[in-house]
Structure 1
Amino acid sequence: MVDRRRRSVRTVLVAEALRVALAGSGRTDPTAGLDIVDLGGGTGGFAVPLAAEGHRVTVVDPSPDALASLERRAADEGVSDLVRGVQGDATELAALTGEGKADALLCHGVLEVVDDPAQALQAMASVLRPGGVLSLLVSQRNAVVLARALAGHLTEAHAALYDPDGRWGPNDPMPRRFDEAGVCALLDDAGLFVHTIHGVRTFADLVPAAFVDSEPGATEALAELERAASQHPVFRAIAPQLHILATR
């Protein structure tokens, strides 16, 4: 239960910002639904709820097991006709989904693991129609520096601060992390215009789980605090993740 509550706080803010962006995506008939690509969307944590709102979602993921789970999840929610799973990755994106056809593209937790982030963003831009929305969620360097230092791993914190990929050492499971300036520069090079940046999980990872579980109203209060801090520059700078909304 605790993990579900904490996860809901982490994901609901991203979902809220995405919903606002989709509502203002420029389509003349908002009731018709949008064509959305979810790169690395796995089992459909975002895709299925979006389909339930009437959008057509193509999930591109390299894992056949994840796509099988996506199919079952979509069937359980009665949206199989609106969700399509395609096996592949960022390098094949344009060939799999077509160029200039997507109203929105989700890339959540994927840019950290692709071979070439700049090339991947170019591919994402190519499948978006003019005015299309990119929802990008990436891990941030500053947060892991702070986390390693607070855990007493000062050498690793120092390494993450200066490593080009924001890694704290050879055993770091994350291939790369970003800072705000660096990821915005990559988006600009891909021809994508950044209009909103949120910090995600600024407090959700710090507040004790026992408190969230036992204190009445704690989950709602934590969500409100996250909302308030998400665009505050100081707190955004130490958030574990950045949620960036950009348009082509």
Structure 2
Amino acid sequence: MARQIEEQIAGRFPVGQRLRVLDVGLGQGTQALRLARAGHEVTGLESDPQMMAAARAALSEEPAGIQDRVRLMDGDGRETGAHFLPGSFDIVLCHGVLMYVAEPDPMLAGLARVLAPGGLLSLVVRNADALAMRPGLSGDWATALAAFDSPEYTNRIGRPVRADRLAALTSTLAGIGAPLATWYGVRVFTDLAADGEAPPSPDGLAGLLAAEERAGRTDPYRSVAALLHLCGVRG
């Protein structure tokens, strides 16, 4: 996803412009720190105390100049209207968050509201149109059959969550004034990899990344990816 974000930035903003970035549900801060290292001003919003502690620890190891470009805030992505003025950001990231939100449309409208005209809204969601793939390939037929009829599922850490459909999100993004500009598939070939599995050799890793990158841009492969990366642009 990092390469996809870089591609979108390069294609939509002048070279060298210092962008204002909001990372909603920043987790351990990996993407936020990468953008701060690239020279951008990043605000990270996180509601989980453990994730926030990890992000603060990671930030503390960065040089002072990078630390000065990052602001970490305790908060929920559904509360952006209480924290920020309209048009406050050039980029809003919301990666791996919507699956925990029962009614995502109001939250998405709030994220679009804090985007400046021409700003980029980047979403990473679980793909409801391919929800049967993981259990089906694992031989869990009951779970696979249930996935055809419901966007709700249990994730790898045992939490009940939900997935989103591309068509529905495309309609939502158009309705909130940040219509879909492009989308990618994420984890087309690697979704069954076990957590903590050792990475392949350098040559194997390079091949894996190249194959995932190509599949994530190519139909019909991207349609069956475990995750979707959607990029909307504020009108």
TM norm. shorter chain > 0.5? yes
- The equivalent of 2:22 in structure 1 is 37
Q: In the alignment, what sits opposite 2:128?
A: 141
Q: What is the aligned counterpart of 2:189 among 177, 192, 203?
A: 203
Q: How does 1:1-248 map to 2 (within 5 A)?
A: 14-27=1-14, 30-78=15-63, 79-163=66-150, 165-167=151-153, 173-206=159-192, 213-214=200-201, 217-248=203-234
Q: What fraction of aligned residue pairs are identical, expressed as a percent? A: 32
- Cα deviation for residue 16 of structure 1 reads 0.8
Alpha-carbon distance in structure 2 between the residues aligned to 1:183 and 1:96: 25
The whole-number CA distance in structure 2 between the counterparts of 1:83 and 1:211 is: 32
Q: Distance in 2 between matches of 1:232 and 1:156?
A: 27
Question: Which structure exhibits the higher relative contact order, with contacts defined as CA atoms closer than 8 Å and separated by 6 or more residues?
Answer: 1
Question: What are structure 2's unaligned runs of at least 5 residues?
Answer: none
User: For 1:33 and 1:83, how far apart are their aligned partners in 2?
Assistant: 13
CA contact (8 A) 1:202 1:240 kept: yes
What's the TM-score once normalised by structure 2's chain length? 0.89
Distance change in 2, residues 1:64/1:172 (3 Å): closer
Give the TM-score, by structure 1 length. Answer: 0.85
Partner residue of 1:8?
Answer: none
Answer yes or no: is the 8 Å Cα contact 2:20–2:41 preserved in 1.
yes
Of stretches 102-111 and 76-85 in structure 1, the one that deviates more from structure 2 is 76-85
Q: Secondary structure at the match of 2:161?
A: coil
Describe the superposition over 1:158-209 as per-residue Cα deviations: whole angstroms up to 9, x where unpaired: 111111x24379x963421012212212222222111111100101234799
Query: Within 2, Cα distance between the matches of 1:189 and 1:172?
Result: 33
Which aligned segments of 4 or more residues in structure 1 are displaced greater than 4 angstroms? Answer: 206-212
The residue identity in structure 2 corresponding to 1:186 is T
**Cα RMSD after superposing both structures:** 2.3
User: Could you tell me how far 1:74 is from its partner in structure 2?
Assistant: 1.7
SS of equivalent residue, structure 1 residue 162? coil
The aligned amino acid for 2:227 is Q
When you count helix as a share of all residues, which structure comes out higher? 1
Counterpart Cα distance in 2 of 1:162 and 1:69 = 37
| Residues 68-117 of structure 1: per-residue CA shift (max 9 Å, x gap) | 32222122121110110111112211221322110000000001112320
2:43 partner letter: T
1:99-150 per-residue CA deviation (whole Å, 9 max, x = no partner) reads 2110000000001112320001100000000100011100112433022122
Q: Is the 8 A contact 2:22 2:43 kept in 1?
A: yes
Match for residue 6 of structure 1?
none
For residue 55 of structure 1, what is the amino acid of its counterpart? H
For the 8 Å contact 1:25–1:103, the answer to whether it is kept is no
* Amino acid in structure 1 at the alignment position of 2:115: L
Structure 2 residue identity aligned to 1:65: Q
Contact 1:52–1:77 (CA under 8 A) maintained in structure 2: no
- Report the alpha carbon displacement of residue 220 of structure 1 after superposing the two structures with TM: 0.2
SS of corresponding position for 1:112: helix
Alignment coverage as a number of residue pairs:
230
Q: 1:124 to 1:21 in 2, by over 3 A?
A: same
Provide structure 1 residue ranges, at least 5 long, that are not aligned to the other structure.
1-13
